[in-house]
Structure 1
């Protein structure tokens, strides 16, 4: 049964309450274990006092054994607490994910990246159609936390795709939409980590690490590091039970080991500081990857993402364990003790080298493919959160038919939907109308839904059928003081870009809002007329919003290739009312005189 948006918001509220309750329960359990740790510490002190006051008999032996019990109990409790700390970290990230969905559906900003870094006024349409930046399409859709995911989503929204790829992506998005509840698990595991750290690790795995670990490939060194722990253990036991010479020999070997560690310290640091502290991050990434591996995927687009014959999640878990052991060197006392006895840092470097030789290529590919899943999950979440939206039908030929298409960035309470279709042959459609009547919004509505369609996402419409076009727009033209560019020069540059794109791609669709604003009215009309006729000659479809009614008159000379539409106003009790509905024919009612009168200027 298809849910409506109110039910979806209610579902998120329920999830928020469930996770919040679980976090509180986990916190209470952690606090209880903290009390147990204090109790075990006090018990250890008590047993130690009893040992000091005990006679040299069987009771003393029992107390000595009892001294070990609080130690073992303490170790167990610490490990249990560490596990609960990891659980609560995950639960907090999961709560953030659910809270973010609830916030966005209630009109608050998306907590993920807005894509501001991808903004470009030179792009054929992204700036005009609000694709990137604050309050943009990217900001609405994005559920990517990794750099790879953000880059892939931006690429999908900024580039043209082939029909086959669009349909393949639609299939993949639909399949993930069926598993939407499980995707929150993946997102929670990826969120909250240091994004730069995983990029640093990937760079290391791509080449640097192999060179940095060359120093541990000496056969003699590897052999000695392998036997050192056993040799040192023997010396420790001999020093305890025999003493004397063995104690001196043990001290000598500890001194030698520390010297070896100092000798290789610069090379060890080079390896460690590219991975150190990354074990928790990699463990979470391994869990996310494991989820993708355990699904029985059907769509070809997703199955092609899996190139490894073995579970890569296990390889990453192994790497995480090596790094976790390596992190012991961060504690100077523990690290010094381990290096003195068994050359711990070199042990970790050798383990890392063994892992690198067998696993690194698959891991890099799979870590990058997490971005593919994030990008698809972003579109699937959009479909889940807006069940009234539909997947468009992408077809061959020349086609665009939209029924009740609305702007996805306008709230459902304020959104006004319109119908629109192209004829069987390309036409230039002139859209006239008053200020604030809805011309610009309609152009952006059509363009932004086309961008959604080509990304493989659902669109804000009752239905949409279209072929694949290259979108070119001309709307927000700005001057530039830094580049000494006037508005008119900027407009000419934009027109030149569009004409060049039309020349190289015959499947171009042009959206223009009030052309040549930076020049006089006569040149503006003549320039607009020439451009419209150029589009007609090139058989390039376009929507042309303007206040200039003379352009609407061009239909007399181009009856088969130019159409007129308009948005009008109604005047009730001297008040303007807009219905924002697209209508046939040129506009006959304008509001400039009314608006001027309101500020004290009257037209005769």
Structure 2
């Protein structure tokens, strides 16, 4: 199998060449269109001036028909050009992501940041430089929300995760399909807003428009009125009052029950979104997949008659096109003459009665596919990463050569945590890698629960509720200090540990807002309490005295550390995790590097 970079570059080059070819064709077609118009008009004038009016009329008709055909061809080529342009940009973005330039991507997920969430803030799930910014290709409103939920609300069942793993691996192998699926979502010129309004609209229908008498009357009245109008215009056997009475009745019908405007306007408002949903579902339903999860999603797209969802949405899209001209002043005449609004309402209510309740499920399927596609990027770009084994038994986390997925050139470490020795105390000097290790474990757990590969050669874990206390800050709006905010978070962790749920916690320099004596005493009590509750987790600290907990807990709490070394009076870190308590300190050295005279301080 080719390397990801080679595949991306090959396809990017292919679409660049197609773009260049299409651009040349469009430019030539523009010239042909102009030439056709000028030559046709010139010949038509010439024939009329030479008293050959029949040839002149024929030339006008031929010119108009040819010009219209060329315009349609030109529009189709422009649409194709836009689609190829989007595909080209998709592969360009894929190369940027692979090259580590993803921090420039526009969708950071900033709107999903939640300081009260149990781990998303500390593990960089959303925001600039986040996990969401790295992987997301979701473009629909529901797609972004679903990816957010997957990264913050892990499923409780191991089997669900395993099925998603299989689906993600299959999608990773279908690069071309994934990029075309993404391209469909990017074809809209406006952001895809929340579909809740149209989903709720689709769930209920007005049965009065589906009554047989109403349908017959709506179909027959315009036919009768138009017939009388034609007879009046073409013969003298029909009085003008017949078509006038018919038009008057139809006008009254149209201006009664104006509540239908809300229904018709709802469809028009979501016209672009409906078209996008149609194209995305068509891409999915016409593709054969082997993964059980993908097959289940596809089965859920059929309507009650077994027809594909994209065909049903296509009908709604066609109705939206018919409604699009309602705002045109000239359309008022057509509306009165044909009872156009009533015809549209009958078709819409019929569609809603048959397929409306399924629309929400279809939109959710698209959202799930966007989420799986985003996660499949990891499997595609990093085939060497491991597919985690999710266990349902005892609390355990084991990792071989585990690194942080968002850190370029990250140093990898091995890790083993079990229920009987499930708390690791990480010591080490400043900048040695303690906090990064905690985030490494946490974010890989998030990826594992999402069904994605993790940055490790091997990775195995149980199902945990993840809690962190790492970046607690003041909340001026709530008049909460950082120390009190930290206490609230720790209270949440302790309360959860006392329940029957299995939790995994990450604590970084806890109680740093108080004096060293209280910090040491408080940390010792907290760690003992969490260990007694059977919680698994990691604690980073500068308090080397906490290392005594390993002996006092009969090794249920274990010491690990990072260290630094000095070369040519320069400090260096190898970021490798080692057993035991730290024996080195570098605070005074770093203070000296900052330009502060250490000798005067002493």
Q: Same fold, TM exceeding 0.5?
A: yes
Partner of residue 95, structure 2: 102
Distance in structure 2 (CA, Å) of the matches to 1:427 and 1:326:
63
Aligned partners of 2:167 and 2:294 also within 8 Å: yes
Shift of 1:312: 0.9
Shift of 1:232: 5.7
The 5 A counterparts of 1:299-314 are 299-305=291-297, 306-307=299-300, 308=302, 309-314=306-311
Which of 500, 517, 523 aligns to 1:528? It is 523
Structure 2 gap ranges (5+): none
Please state if 1:507 is matched with 2:499: no
Q: 536-545 or 269-278: which moved more?
A: 269-278
Provide, for residues 97-135 of structure 1, a one-character-per-residue CA deviation record: whole Å limited to 9, x for no partner: 222212222222364632222222222211111112221
> Residues 275, 37 of structure 1: CA spacing in aligned structure 2 closer, same or farther, 3 A cutoff?
farther
Which of 408, 411, 414 aligns to 1:411? It is 408
Please state if 1:380 is matched with 2:376: yes
Structure 1 gap ranges (5+): none
Aligned partners of 1:402 and 1:463 also within 8 Å: yes
Aligned partners of 1:257 and 1:341 also within 8 Å: no
Partner of residue 297, structure 1: 289
Provide, for residues 315-348 of structure 1, a one-character-per-residue CA deviation record: whole Å limited to 9, x for no partner: 1111111211221334433x24532542333332
Please state if 1:356 is matched with 2:349: no
> Residues 266, 459 of structure 1: CA spacing in aligned structure 2 closer, same or farther, 3 A cutoff?
same
Aligned partners of 1:529 and 1:551 also within 8 Å: yes
Please state if 1:459 is matched with 2:454: yes
Partner of residue 111, structure 2: 117
Q: 243-252 or 129-138: which moved more?
A: 243-252
Aligned partners of 1:235 and 1:249 also within 8 Å: no
**TM-score, normalization: structure 1?**
0.89
Provide, for residues 219-257 of structure 1, a one-character-per-residue CA deviation record: whole Å limited to 9, x for no partner: 5553343235544664565566x3667695697379538
Provide, for residues 30-81 of structure 1, a one-character-per-residue CA deviation record: whole Å limited to 9, x for no partner: 34444444445446645654675576xxx65555455433333333333323
Please state if 1:88 is matched with 2:88: no
Aligned partners of 1:390 and 1:463 also within 8 Å: yes
Partner of residue 144, structure 1: 138
Aligned partners of 1:148 and 1:371 also within 8 Å: yes
> Residues 474, 12 of structure 1: CA spacing in aligned structure 2 closer, same or farther, 3 A cutoff?
same
Partner of residue 586, structure 2: 591
Aligned partners of 1:477 and 1:490 also within 8 Å: yes
Q: For this pair of structures, how many residues does the alignment match?
A: 589
> Residues 43, 225 of structure 1: CA spacing in aligned structure 2 closer, same or farther, 3 A cutoff?
farther
Shift of 1:170: 0.8
Partner of residue 19, structure 2: 23
Aligned partners of 1:433 and 1:439 also within 8 Å: yes
Please state if 1:427 is matched with 2:419: no
> Residues 478, 44 of structure 1: CA spacing in aligned structure 2 closer, same or farther, 3 A cutoff?
same
Please state if 1:72 is matched with 2:65: yes
Distance in structure 1 (CA, Å) of the matches to 2:287 and 2:452:
22
Q: 448-457 or 62-71: which moved more?
A: 62-71
- CA RMSD between the two structures: 2.8
